[in-house]
Amino acid sequence: MIETRVVRTLDVSAASGLVLRDGCFHVVADDENALFVFDRDAATRRIALLPGDLPEQHAQRKESKPDFEMLVDLPGHGLLAMGSGSRATRERAVLIDRDERATVIDMSMLFAALREAFPGLNMEGAALLGNEFVLLQRGNRSDCRNALVFIARRDLQRALVSQRFVVTRAPRIVNLTLGMERGVPWSGTDLCVLDDGDLLVSAVLEYTGDAYEDGRCLGSSLARLTSDGTLRWQRRLDTMAKVEGVAAGDDQVWLVSDADDGTIPSQLLWASLR
């Protein structure tokens, strides 16, 4: 089991994507239209990704939210927040450049192509790996498949210019075997690249049967994979928090949680892989 330590609570309640850059934690929440920047001195800054406010009522907010589940550091470009693709309202990405200008990218064509392989599409993690852009498909009790989706990096680069993500090479799909406990499958929630090129995936035991409804969380874990998706190890975390975002460097890991309750702040946690 991997021990965790709570670093701080965050001024969001549904943290889902995490990047550590320039000494600051950058976080997207799946029920917000903004990127949040948490400084080491505990200050918080909000950067708008999309205009307008989301409804306060939970069901309406869930129906209309962009569902930003992924946050990727793109060197030379900025930070890319991506929707999960699980609904038509969740097929946008937003690039925030160094001047904090937002550019919306239409992801619908990419997600339409991926939906042929995953009818219950639910992309939860993304990372740059060499010449490829890797996405993480999250499984659930109805379709247990977790998978890595490898896309040509040049297609991502074209999308940043054209503002439409079109694939010119068929994505390569590698299914992941994360197992299950008590009849509930481990479902991947985020993805990052370690210093040696391995992949680190966060996963949860969530009692839900689709990509839309939330369920009770029975635990979280980390899984270390080779760059081609082969499982090296998978270990439980000692927290019952539902871990939705992961960032790593120098054998240190930072995690963010989502309690699926707007009244409960997300946590920023730390762990060591040593």
pLDDT by residue (tens digit) across 138-152? Answer: 988 778 889 999 999
Quick check: 116 pLDDT over 70?
Answer: yes
Chain segment 157-191, per-residue pLDDT in tens:
999 999 999 999 999 999 998 998 888 899 999 99
* Phi, psi dihedral angles at 151 (to 5 degrees): -120, 145
| Residue 232 near residue 222, CB atoms below 8 Å | no
| 248 pLDDT more than 90 | yes
The residue ranking higher by pLDDT, 210 or 258, is: 258
Q: How confident is the model at residue 249 (pLDDT cuts 50, 70, 90)?
A: confident
Checking if the pLDDT of 6 tops 90, the result is yes
The pLDDT of residue 208 is 66
Q: What is the percent of the chain with per-residue pLDDT over 70, rounded to a whole number?
A: 96
Using an 8 Å Cβ cutoff, are 222 and 2 in contact? yes
Measured CA to CA, the distance from residue 33 to residue 201 in angstroms comes to: 25
Question: CA-to-CA distance for 268 and 9, rounded, in angstroms?
Answer: 6
What's the rounded Cα separation, in Å, for the pair 143 and 129? 26
Burial class (CB in 10 A: 0-12, 13-18, 19+), 51: exposed
What is the DSSP annotation of 157-202? HHHHHHSB---SSPPEEEEE---EETTEEEEEEEEEE-TTS-EEEE
Burial 140-156 (b: 16+ CB within 10 A, else e): bbebbbbbbbbbbeebb
Q: What is the mean pLDDT of residues 67-80?
A: 96
